[in-house]
Amino acid sequence: MAYNYHSNMEIEQFLSKLPEAYSRTDREQIEKAYRFAEKAHQGQTRANGQPYFSHSVGVANILIEMDANAEIVAAALLHDVMVDCGVTAKQLKDEFGETIALFVEDVSRITSLPYISRADQHPDERKPLAETMPATRTKINEDLAETLRKMLLAIGDDVRVVVIKLACRLHNMRTLNALPPDRQKKIAQETLDIFAPLANRLGIWQMKWELEDLGFRYTNPLKYKEIAENLTLRRTKRLEEVDKIIETLQDLLQKSEIKAKITGRPKHIYSIYRKMMNKEKSFDGIRDLRAVRVIVDDVETCYKVLGIVHTHFAPIPGEFDDYIAAKKPNDYQSLHTAVIYSDGKPLEVQIRTWEMHQNAEYGIAAHWRYKENKQHISEKYEQKVSAMRSLLAWSMEVDDNQELLEGMRTDIFKDRVYVITPKGEVVDLPQGSTPIDFAYQVHTDIGHRCRGAKINGKLVPLDYTLKTGDQVEILTVNRGGPSRDWLNPNLGLVRSSRSRSKIKQWFKQQDRGQNLEHGIILVEKEFKRLGLVDFDLNLVLSTFSVKTVDDLYVGIGCGDIPIGKLVNRIGELKTYDLRSEELVLETPGKVKSDDTVTVMGLNRMDHTFARCCNPMPGDPIIGYITRGRGVTIHRMDCPNALRIKDTERLIKVDWGIAQQTYPVPLQITAYDRQGLVSDISSVLSSEPVRLIDLSMTTRQHVVKVNLVVEVPGINQLSRVLARLENLPNVIEAARVRPG
């Protein structure tokens, strides 16, 4: 089919950008797709007044810059014709072949999913958000989780589909200012939560950093502007410094006969912001604002360059990462180090090969590039496809939509840690993982039979938080299964959603009678600990979508219904909160004012607000212990606080929260040991509770610790009791009922 259309100049300009490696057939196919899509979108406009087809061209241009192949570029031009123009899959297949038609169909399927914004200035997207939002947040979360599941299903067959969608979102973010402010913020937050992490997972750094910066620009415009202005003010001086650093490094490498390309590394606003938040530092405290990248021919030379850098400049302890020996799960490889340069200021250096650089910039897209060996492409590409299929398989195993959302945020999109097996193999896990998470990652059966762990040869508790570089050895038993305590979020024994899913699957395989029995035991134990009596469980059946109390017990017994969720629901019922006469002493509760400061869990300590920075409620703050005047409260970014050398006198503080608290008597029964009271105090100081009274008696090596604590609600009480009972030598921690 031929298309006679007026925009020949625009077409020629577009075709001139195509890679030289494209064949004549490729160019003809792309030109045909261009004319087809332009005609299909004729008469449609975006909110900024431009023809809608300009979006399709923008998406295609992004992919051309990544050297995508002709089929992907053609699909990018056509990606909205099914959704917006009524073109059928059969028409596309007849005109462009099965592969391009499938790409467009899969992208259209993602575009049509509910609760993920199109963001492309389609007429439905131009209205203020308030006019189109559904009523309840719970319903939104349920539907969003199902949407994510379907999106993973749509991209599971061919990862290139998600790259087209990422290019689509990137072009939309570049033109987001034409939409209403509330839509801008929603779309930007969605970009930070879903699309930028997906780009990171696929290793496409070019897309990741731009999506993050654009998302940050609309979600936190004031902070974005502040960092951008700081970067601009110091840009000239920083560029001069970096140019001199590059010249010095070039001289050093030439003396060792090392051929390398050295460039300044651009700093991205969102990454600076995250470092400021994670390290609780001001803009001035970020070390790697000056950074260079060294690109060499092979891996051996990478380590030679590292040796030269460390020989001439003092390395900063704890700032070296070897992502060549232990590459990231998105296939990223590089050496990262930070040193004190000759001017006394920090300098970050990245060292990598040309292949690593291509892979870092383009991720999976680097494996379609025409310059690569085809066999090599196939091997690398299959690794990425395998990773996405693994993600898809996991998403289909999870029944609970809320768990899927949480799992996406933690297991899939969160930062990773890299630990080592006894055989020297590297295992990557979500940040915050425990030895049990490691055991399930290695093999499901090892997870089930895990009973202990050694980290770097030393025994550690199972709630130990793994760190990059730890060598982990799991101690197992010959037979047995997981403990139900592992599913208790209060104990922090399992942090990965995948591990929790496998544990739940194990308990589901037990017979109903066994799960019923265990569920009854768990509920009775928790109710006894909380002092709850005669509570009618029929009141909460609808919350958990079960028909009978026995079904509720079975759900709790197999792990489908966390005991914490049941306690939370009971706490929400007014007749069974801590104001009930049966549940508390007659002593009236207190209200904590919202303009006070809590110091390490103790709100009675004297404190004053520093006049140098005048912190206000909501500001990030830190405390400084003075001599004789209590604690002085500074803003986290206060220059005076940042200059304090005696860091041992800095303590964590936070703003108080206006809420009612209730005094509750507790009793802990334990075998006496040294440090018991210290451990109890440590648990209480890390929770939102206040210790009012403590006494203890000892008889025949058994100690009874009687406490009165102020707690805001039954949910917090449940968590505190679970953590206290989990302390070594503690037999029981329970609430004391009056009389």
CATH of the domain at 257: 3.30.460.10
Above pLDDT 70, what percent of the chain?
Answer: 76
Name the most confidently modeled range: 471-475, 499-503, 546-550, 722-726.
471-475
Buried b / exposed e over 473-487, threshold 16 CB at 10 Å, is: bbebeeeeebebebb
Q: Give pLDDT, residue 279.
A: 62
* Residue 210: partners with Cβ closer than 8 Å, 6 or more residues away: 170, 173
Q: Give pLDDT, residue 326.
A: 77
**Mean pLDDT score, 522-539:** 80
Beta-carbon-side half-sphere exposure of residue 568 (alpha carbons within 13 Å): 9
Higher pLDDT, 70 or 393: 70
DSSP helix/strand/coil, 56? helix
Higher pLDDT, 75 or 67: 75
Contact between 635 and 691 (Cβ < 8 Å): no
Q: Would the pTM of this model clear 0.85, i.e. be above it?
A: no
Number of C-beta neighbours around residue 206 at 10 A = 17
- On the question of pLDDT at 399 being above 60, the answer is no
- On the question of pLDDT at 323 being above 80, the answer is yes
- Residue with token string 């950008």: 17
**Mean pLDDT score, 677-705:** 86
Residues 110 and 187 in one domain: yes
Average pLDDT of the chain, as a whole number: 78
398 occurs within a structural domain: no
Q: Give pLDDT, residue 378.
A: 47
**Mean pLDDT score, 75-81:** 91
> 154-158, 272-276, 321-325, 511-515: which range is least confident on average?
154-158
- On the question of pLDDT at 284 being above 80, the answer is no
* Residue 621: partners with Cβ closer than 8 Å, 6 or more residues away: 597, 615, 633, 634, 635, 636, 653, 654, 655
* Residue 266: partners with Cβ closer than 8 Å, 6 or more residues away: none
Name the most confidently modeled range: 167-176, 486-495, 617-626, 707-716.
167-176
- On the question of pLDDT at 616 being above 80, the answer is no
- On the question of pLDDT at 600 being above 80, the answer is no
377 occurs within a structural domain: no
Contact between 231 and 392 (Cβ < 8 Å): no
How far is the C-alpha of 719 from the C-alpha of 735, rounded, in Å?
12
Contact between 453 and 462 (Cβ < 8 Å): yes
Residues 72 and 159 in one domain: yes
588 occurs within a structural domain: no
Residues 487 and 514 in one domain: no
**Mean pLDDT score, 447-459:** 91
Residues 691 and 670 in one domain: yes
CATH of the domain at 702: 3.30.70.260
**Mean pLDDT score, 324-348:** 82
What is the side-by-side order of every strand in the sheet holding 458-460? 458-460, 450-455, 472-476
Give the end of a domain, one of 507, 525, 558.
Answer: 507
- On the question of pLDDT at 58 being above 70, the answer is yes
Q: What are phi and psi of 585, to 5 degrees?
A: -70, 170
**Mean pLDDT score, 459-480:** 88
> 355-369, 614-628, 692-706: which range is least confident on average?
355-369
CATH of the domain at 92: 1.10.3210.10
End-to-end CA distance of the chain: 90
- On the question of pLDDT at 581 being above 60, the answer is no
Q: Give pLDDT, residue 304.
A: 92
Confidence of residue 472 (pLDDT cuts 50, 70, 90): very high
DSSP helix/strand/coil, 293? strand
Domain that residue 720 falls in? 661-735
Q: Give pLDDT, residue 454.
A: 93
Residues 246 and 260 in one domain: yes
> Number of structural domains, the chain?
6
Residues 20 and 41 in one domain: yes
Residues 625 and 669 in one domain: no
Number of C-beta neighbours around residue 453 at 10 A = 23
CATH of the domain at 465: 3.10.20.30
**Mean pLDDT score, 454-463:** 90
* Residue 269: partners with Cβ closer than 8 Å, 6 or more residues away: 213, 216, 217, 224, 227, 228, 231
Number of C-beta neighbours around residue 279 at 10 A = 11
**Mean pLDDT score, 544-559:** 83
2 occurs within a structural domain: no
Confidence of residue 475 (pLDDT cuts 50, 70, 90): very high
- On the question of pLDDT at 582 being above 50, the answer is no
376 occurs within a structural domain: no
Residues 514 and 498 in one domain: no
Q: Give pLDDT, residue 147.
A: 58
Cα distances from 283 to residues 342, 647, 651, in angstroms, run 22, 19, 21
Q: Give pLDDT, residue 4.
A: 43
> 373-382, 457-466, 541-550, 719-728: which range is least confident on average?
373-382
- On the question of pLDDT at 383 being above 70, the answer is no
Higher pLDDT, 295 or 637: 295
Number of C-beta neighbours around residue 697 at 10 A = 9
How far is the C-alpha of 344 from the C-alpha of 347, rounded, in Å?
9
> 321-325, 375-379, 554-558, 725-729: which range is least confident on average?
375-379
Number of C-beta neighbours around residue 283 at 10 A = 17
What confidence tens digit (pLDDT) does each residue in 400-430 have?
A: 555 555 555 555 555 667 788 888 777 878 7
Contact between 711 and 733 (Cβ < 8 Å): no
Q: Give pLDDT, residue 34.
A: 92
Q: Give pLDDT, residue 652.
A: 77
Residues 73 and 209 in one domain: yes
**Mean pLDDT score, 328-338:** 80
**Mean pLDDT score, 49-62:** 90
Q: Give pLDDT, residue 598.
A: 62
Confidence of residue 441 (pLDDT cuts 50, 70, 90): confident
Q: Give pLDDT, residue 594.
A: 47
Q: Give pLDDT, residue 577.
A: 45
What confidence tens digit (pLDDT) does each residue in 83-96 have?
A: 888 888 899 999 99
What confidence tens digit (pLDDT) does each residue in 106-147 have?
A: 888 777 666 567 666 666 666 665 555 444 444 445 555 555
Q: Give pLDDT, residue 388.
A: 53
- Residue with token string 């045909």: 32
635 occurs within a structural domain: yes
Above pLDDT 90, what percent of the chain?
Answer: 14
Residues 453 and 492 in one domain: yes
285 occurs within a structural domain: yes
Q: Give pLDDT, residue 152.
A: 62
401 occurs within a structural domain: no
**Mean pLDDT score, 725-733:** 88
What confidence tens digit (pLDDT) does each residue in 194-240 have?
A: 788 778 777 777 888 899 999 999 998 888 888 888 877 677 777 78
Closest C-alpha to 643, from 318, 285, 340: 285
Residues 181 and 258 in one domain: no
How far is the C-alpha of 533 from the C-alpha of 535, rounded, in Å?
6
Residues 18 and 167 in one domain: yes
